[in-house]
Amino acid sequence: MEKETIKKIFDFLEKKENKKHKNRDNFIWKLNFGEPLTKEDLIVNGDLDLTDSNLKSLPDNLQVKGNMITRFSKLEELPKGLKVGVILDLSYSNIKKIPDDIKIGTSLYLHNSKVTSLPEGLVIDTWLIIMNTPINRLPKGLIVKGYLNIDNKHNLAKFTNEELREMVYPGNIKGIIRI
């Protein structure tokens, strides 16, 4: 069924039956149906789970106070000014680039992702997990306050822990786990 047909059905039910869909007027609803977003809509007060979503883009300056998950979505890029309060999970996604101005609260998961590089000066508080991605270098100024987790078959596995720490200087990696 086409999006417009679905929207017409919901509009009919709201108008004639006085039944409003529980997600009517929320962020995802507005994006899916092309409705205008307010400044308040750009603040998601919980998780934003875009797993299997057909959305290809998100608005700039989006703030997600919880986790943001993009697994198996059609999303091709992250918006400028993105802030994620907890975990950003780009595993199994089509996203290739992380914006330079991104802010991530605790962790970044990159399992089987297409991300090719990380922005300079990226700060990760808890976990940076890089497994089966095309990333072959870590950026200058990367700060991982928790642990960098790389798999032993990854491009970064050829570097010693000391070489990885030198690569990110003047940044810092507290702990490195290889699996």
pLDDT on residue 10: 62
In whole angstroms, give the CA distance from residue 135 to residue 115.
7
> 53 and 19, same structural domain?
no
Task: Tell me, yes or no, whether 117 and 135 share the same domain.
Answer: yes
Q: Which residue from 66, 95, 70 is spatially nearest to 83, judged by alpha carbons?
A: 66
Average predicted confidence (pLDDT) for the chain:
90
**In this structure, are 98 and 30 located in the same domain?**
no
pLDDT bucket at 90, cuts 50 / 70 / 90? very high
Position 33 scores a pLDDT of 79
**pLDDT tens for each residue of 16-62:** 666 665 556 678 878 887 888 999 999 999 999 999 999 999 999 99
Mean pLDDT of 155-168: 94
**Is residue 129 located within the same domain as residue 159?**
yes
pLDDT band at 152 (very low <50, low <70, confident <90, very high): confident
Q: Which two tokens stand for residue 131?
A: 């497994």
Residues 56 and 15 in one domain: no
d(CA 67, CA 179): 24
Neighbours of 8 (CB within 10 A): 11
Say yes or no: 58 and 87 in one domain.
yes
Assess whether 25 and 52 both reside in one domain.
no
Cα 60 from Cα 56, distance rounded (Å)? 13
**Residue 6 pLDDT > 80, yes or no?**
no
- How many angstroms separate the CA atoms of 141 and 24, rounded? 43
Its domain, for residue 29, covers: 1-36
Q: How confident is the model at residue 154 (pLDDT cuts 50, 70, 90)?
A: confident
| pLDDT greater than 90 at residue 165 | yes
Give tens-digit pLDDT for 117-145. 999 999 999 999 999 999 999 999 999 99
Pair (27, 52) in one structural domain: no
- 5 and 85: one domain? no
pLDDT at 163 over 60: yes
Residue type, 15: K
> Considering its fold, how many domains does the chain have in total?
2
Buried b (16+ CB within 10 A) or exposed e, 76-115: eebbeebbbbbbbbbbbbbbbebeeebebbbbbbbbebeb
